[in-house]
Amino acid sequence: MRRFFPRLFFVIWLGALLIGASVTLIDAFANPSTRLEEHHNLEVDALRLEAIEVMKEASRGARPTDRLRRFRERTGATIYLFRDDGLLFAPKTPPTNVRDLAARVRAVGRDVEERHENGTLVGLTLPNSRYVAVGRVLRTPAWARALGEDQPAIRITLLVLASALLALLLANYLVRPVRSLRRATRRIAEGDLAARVGPQLDHGVLAELGEDFDTMAARVEALIEARERLLSDVSHELNSPLARLRVALELARGKAGEGAQAPLDRIEREAERLAALVDEILTLTRLDRAEGIERASVDLRAVVLDVARDAAFEARASEADVRLGEVADARLEGDVELLRRALDNVVRNALRFTAEGTAVEVSMSRDGDEARVRVRDHGPGVPDDALARIFEPLYRVEPDRGRSTGGAGLGLAIARRGVALHGGRIEARNADGGGLEVCLTLPLATLPPVTPPAKRVSANAEVSA
């Protein structure tokens, strides 16, 4: 949009300039000198007729000064009436060149015309030889002369300014519905599926596009709601058979011999994985439908330390480690369990993909009124074009990735929604030297920053809060 508006403005402005220049040239060619001369002759005749009427009033003993003043205001032309005895009738005091021209007309006995830079002086003989009139006609109207319309540079400047104003108004009119459409598109991209543009585009040039957009948005909203409802319903329906499966599994253990224990253990593990998947689906569905959370004061530093300690204990099985860097003191208003789960999902995801013998690095810093929790692994990383999609539900970079790591593709989606409900954001990038770094940014309540000494959490050590 930042580039579209200037380009549209420039195109409209250029078009307006070309139209203005064309009109000026056509006007110049359509008014040759003969037509201009005819127009001038009509002006002189009008001056003569008005001067004769003024002379008649003066001959009857009246003083037609008011008439001369009204004529000047109406036409922009000034008439000076001189009598042979020196009596003058005029709307204002005549300049010297007007008096000199009147004397010349009386001396030669015919009309005399003088052209000047700003207009024309016309000396007129009248039927009554006692009177002589001088008319002063400006080359351009007063308003045009005030603007310098008779100067080419001024005319060009006025054309440029007028066309720029026209282009600005028209471009803004055309771009306004596009901006409304863009705002609605951005709201939908941020998860607000109820965004519509119909009311803003009712009378715009993109009204039909707005209707199509609203239809599309309504369809997408319906599809997503149907998907969430399906996931929720299926998850709830799976809870009952899972519970019965556990009961049947315990009964089978009591009746089976030693040779059946290994297959039963495998069944139990798969049942637990399925139960965990159902729980994650229900959690994600609940968070997607939530518009807010119950807030309480949360010690974010304590949450980070607890998650790191639990992750360090579980890291023993994968011959990995959890290394705790700088953890600043921070407190915010939020849901402690939701924050714990969001961070735990990010750390567990890092443990799944970090290489054996390496450590997942966890740290937290403060930046103004925000806290940034960083979790970095030393795994294969993620392709750049997939960095934003790893937070989508059920998305995997590789089709078989979930099978090899045990992930269901919901942990990071839950983390993103949990962070968003706290007014924060979560981002991922490929770290220098390999591996993936996930950053959780959360707004904080006001609290003086306190930075404790750096600590390290390993598989063989506990973390003290």
Q: Is 39 a catalytic residue?
A: no
Residue in 203, 236, 378, 422 annotated catalytic: 236
Q: How far apart are CA 319 and CA 103, in angstroms?
A: 119
H or E element in which residue 266 lies: helix 261-289
Token readout for 102 is 């009147």
Report CA-CA distances (Å) from 422 to 105, 142, 284, 342, 368.
95, 67, 15, 11, 17
Q: How far apart are CA 212 and CA 247, in angstroms?
A: 53
Report yes or no: 351 and 308 within 8 Å, Cβ to Cβ: no
Report yes or no: 123 and 136 within 8 Å, Cβ to Cβ: no
The torsion of the CA quartet 45, 50, 56, 60, rounded to 10 degrees, works out to: -170
b (16+ CB within 10 A) / e for 107-142: eeeeebebeeeebbbbbbbbeeeebbbbbbbbeeee
The one-letter code for the residue type at 51 is A
Q: How far apart are CA 289 and CA 417, in angstroms?
A: 10
Report CA-CA distances (Å) from 153 to 94, 158, 452.
32, 9, 71
Q: How far apart are CA 432 and CA 256, in angstroms?
A: 54
First to last CA, the chain: 49
Report yes or no: 443 and 312 within 8 Å, Cβ to Cβ: no
Residue 331: closest CA among 374, 361, 364: 364
Alpha helices by DSSP H, listed for 109-206, are: 142-146, 152-189
Indicate which residues carry an active-site annotation.
Answer: 236
